[in-house]
A = this chain, B = another copy of it.
């Protein structure tokens, strides 16, 4: 059942607590254009949701109109920074004590809205109805709590990767995040508020409360208060985390002197909660009683959840509600209980944003005409506070910083993201190769690596906006923000799901965007592209002079050498900084000789002697030499063999990766020089598509829907993934249902070490799925 409907009576102290160090406008961001509000008021926390628009700068490239010849000069294309308005969902969680002050702030900043109503849910909604209506001048429109909860749950499960996690107290990483299975239904939601509601969710609109229990968070709080005279919920949990339940509980060994082996009961099993307190003539400590109570309630809920899961044949069980609210001690006891009762058959899953479910659901109810479910949404790592930001168990520094406010921001993406249809098993696909949450050594390296690279990033960001005076100031803010994120992640690597090189890169992109550095590499990319284009015809010509077999090897070497040109990797970006003229031939020389670290070139060559592929999907990487002198000749050869090619590039900028807009222009220029590319373009045998991402890495479970459609229509039978970000940091272990080729040069010495290679070692991984002939 619902969160606790009771609300502390002393809500009259409305001044914001001293612990809030963030200014209100950093909490209630983009309030000016906010519309559609929803509020979920629980027993102690208020969750506010609103939809707003964000105006931010984006870098656009545009081909010069060559017919008019105006201002062409030596420029390849025009780069302009434009203002773009995108949609963002804001969710803010704060203690009920701040509600009046928060409402005042919202009222003052609510200037451009035509909103007339606020959707409300939660047990406390009707208590604050009058206050909200008076302060905001909005009509409070109550929404059914359970419907909101389920709607919110479906939304986060579908839109936030790593939303769900398993909690394992004694593991290397306490949090083991789950990959998002696009097919989220059916599942069981166990919502532990004051009481417990057990809900079976079968589809977006179909759910049923199949069970419940009156022994929930309110029981822990209520009985705990009576037993210990401690009235605060969090304090009770603190007490519990310090107690010894065995002094209060009767254990199996207290009765039998040991285990009760023939029934499979170990001696330490609790036979009777509070079983010692009736007859022992002594005082029990508050800590011990609180611990016993916590065990009693968690075990009970765990058992009920298991039984309902078994009875309804459900394997995914999510736990939410204020009893959970990220408290490690409750997650641990619930998890322990589930493991005990199901012998590992059912996993207890928790949600990073479980506290927001009601507010999200209420918001979605009110926003149905905007069809929010028709878009994909992405968590904005720059704006969201991350898991446990307000947990009492959090490190004090972090807590002092965020106070008791917790934020979640979701950006509406321009497109719907779906799975690559060629994944062998979408439900077990994990994009990332190394989970830094679990690998402490790797985490330490990469956090330091990103910290050390920060100066360079800031410098480049400022350099990318030479005409804008306050760019340096913004860049400094970016530095602070990203540095703070890195510090947070050092203490709480689980803050945004599994920590990975990809998430570190993406967070940096989000932060850069946040401070209006939409594309710091735009100018560098332009210069490189310009130089490389000049060499294209020569490169193609020299390849054509080679024998067929030599050419195949040279084409692969070309892609690999081109991939050495990468501003994203530490070793290379240093070389590039110091010597911008670093040439393609130099790169080839630096390449490891065969046999490479991973080398299936012979198999690839053998395959090429066979019939041509129907269609190849090529995920490209960097601008400049990479795309123009490495990838394009390779693509040209595929086209010549009769293979159709789909070139997938990023939708938005990330480092020096070539974006789809840039690639459009580059391909046109190449087509003008090369009749093979030209005819392929015209005949749709060469197609350029966006991948839907703005990351240097690649998540094959979140790709542009158009790309997925095309891949299916063209009966794609070869997937090529290029570059360290896409083929090593991610997808190294990805299993595809067709042939695949992963090509990358290792440009990071730590990673080279890890993989048993050295700097500029080559990964050339050609794979054929089991059961398919070569």
Which A residues form the contact surface with B (CB < 8 A)?
Answer: 1-2, 4-6, 8-9, 123, 126, 144, 146-147, 193-195, 197, 209, 211-219, 221-227, 231, 233, 248-250, 252, 254-257, 260, 262-265, 270-281, 284, 289, 295-296, 299-300, 303-304, 307-308, 310-311
Contact = CB atoms under 8 A, between A and B. Distances in A.
Q: Which interface residue of A193, A215, A216 has the most chain B CB atoms within 10 A?
A: A215
Nearest to A222: B274
Contact of A215 (B218, B296, B308): B296
Contacts of A126: 257
Contacts of A308: 307
Given A1-B271, A225-B277, A271-B1, A299 B214 contact: yes
Contacts of A277: 222-223, 225-226
Contacts of A284: 226
Contacts of A144: 262
A570 to B, nearest CB: 54
A5 B255 contact: yes
Given A4-B278, A304-B307, 9 more contacts: A4-B272, A8-B279, A211-B307, A214-B249, A215-B215, A222-B248, A226-B227, A307-B307, A307-B311
B223 A274 contact: yes
A273 B310 contact: no
Contact of A304 (B217, B225, B304): B304
Given A123-B255, A194-B250, A255-B194, A218 B274 contact: yes
Contacts of A225: 277-278
B276 A222 contact: yes
B221 A278 contact: yes
A613 to B, nearest CB: 52
Contacts of A147: 262
A284 B147 CA distance: 35
B271 A233 contact: no
B6 A213 contact: no
Contacts of A280: 6
B255 A219 contact: no
A273 B303 contact: no
A222 B123 CA distance: 32
A382 B227 CA distance: 49
Given A194-B272, A277-B223, A277-B225, A209 B263 contact: yes
A221 B280 CA distance: 12
A278 B44 CA distance: 12
A307 B312 CA distance: 11
Contacts of A209: 263-265
Contacts of A221: 274-275, 278-279
A262 B199 CA distance: 13
B304 A272 contact: no
A496 B195 CA distance: 41
A221 to B, nearest CB: 4
A277 B231 CA distance: 9
A214 B4 contact: no
Contact of A218 (B213, B257, B272, B289): B272
A275 B215 contact: no
A133 B674 CA distance: 105
Nearest to A194: B272
Contacts of A273: 195, 214-215, 218-219, 222-223
Given A209-B264, A300-B300, A222 B272 contact: yes
Contact of A250 (B6, B275, B304, B310): B6
A582 B41 CA distance: 90
A4 B275 contact: yes
Contacts of A281: 9
A140 to B, nearest CB: 15
Contacts of A231: 278-279
Contacts of A212: 265
A330 B393 CA distance: 41
Contacts of A249: 214
Contacts of A217: 272
User: Which 4 residue pairs spanning A and B have beta carbons closest together?
Assistant: A218-B272, A222-B274, A218-B275, A194-B272
A301 to B, nearest CB: 10
A93 to B, nearest CB: 20
Given A226-B277, A277-B225, A296-B219, A303 B213 contact: yes
A216 B274 CA distance: 9
A274 B194 CA distance: 9
Contacts of A274: 218-219, 221-223, 226
Contacts of A195: 250, 270-273, 275
A446 B573 CA distance: 105
Nearest to A277: B222
A211 B1 CA distance: 25
Contacts of A233: 278
Nearest to A308: B307
Contacts of A193: 272
A609 to B, nearest CB: 60
A95 to B, nearest CB: 15
Given A218-B273, A271-B195, A300 B224 contact: no
